Structures are given as C-alpha cells and as structure tokens.
Amino acid sequence: MKISQSSGVPIYKQIADAFRTDILAGKYSQGEYLPSIRELAKDLRISVITTMKAYEQLELEGLVTASQGKGFYVNAQDSEMLKEQHLRKVEDSLLAAIDAAEIAGMSGGELIETLKTLIEMRDQ
C-alpha cells in the first residue's frame, strides 16, 4: 500500500480508500482479517490512531467488522451492494472528469468523444 504525505488527502482516507478498493475488487474474501492495526501502522510508519480511524471508517461503511481481540474482518458483500458501490464510484469519477473538462474548456461533446476513444483503445 502506497501512502502519500503530499497528496492533500488525509492518510486515514488513503488507507480506507485502498482497502475499500481491494475489498470491492474481491482481493479480500468474506471473513478474512485485515492486517492488525499495529502491524499496518508499523509497516506504513504512521500512528496507530490514524490506522484505527481508517478501519473505523470501513466499519461505518459496513465493509468490515471489529472482533474483540482479533482485529477487523471483511463482511460478506452483497452483490447488489457491490454493484451500487461501483456505480457510485463511476459517477464520482465522471463528475470529476466533467469538472476537469470544464476547466480545460472542453465541450460536452468533446468529453463524450474522448471517453468513447478511451473505451475503444482499452477494448483493443
């Protein structure tokens, strides 16, 4: 896991985002434990409090559950919920692309054509 001190995104959020992406992509299976809070803090050279905040964020989202004395484990993921979360991520990314396109002076049509071109390039 890569953490950037200069990204402007809080470290706990970077950690939560990385785990969220991995969980939603199926890299962690149901019941699998995340690295311990202390272990992750040591590996990333950050505070235990920061790591705990990231795990608590994931717990609030329903992705993990705390088990007393054992750590945090991955919850079963409902396929509809996973799809909805991925759709939300797509929408957020597209909104960010729209904002960037406006700043760059692109029209809606130019943005759509750029998206079509990128899709075609990826499918090849």
Q: What is the mean pLDDT of residues 75-88?
A: 77
pLDDT of residue 79: 65
Q: What is the pLDDT of residue 41?
A: 95
Distances (CA, A) of 123 to 34, 83, 117: 34, 21, 10
CA dihedral over 76, 81, 85, 87, signed as positive or negative: positive
Quick one: pLDDT at residue 13?
95
Residue scoring higher pLDDT (116 or 123): 116
pLDDT band (50, 70, 90) for residue 40: very high
Asked whether the whole model's pTM tops 0.85, one would answer no
What contacts 73, CB < 8 A, 6 or more positions away?
Answer: 31, 32, 33, 34, 64, 65, 67
- Which pLDDT does position 12 carry in this prediction? 96
- 98 touches 88 (CB < 8 A): no
Residue 95 in this model has a pLDDT that exceeds 70: yes
- The span from the CA of 59 to the CA of 54, in Å, is 9
Angle made by CA atoms 65, 49, 93, in degrees to the nearest 5: 65
Instruction: Inform me whether the pLDDT recorded for 18 exceeds 70.
Output: yes
CA distance 74 to 28: 7
For 57-69, the pLDDT digits (tens) are 999 988 999 999 9
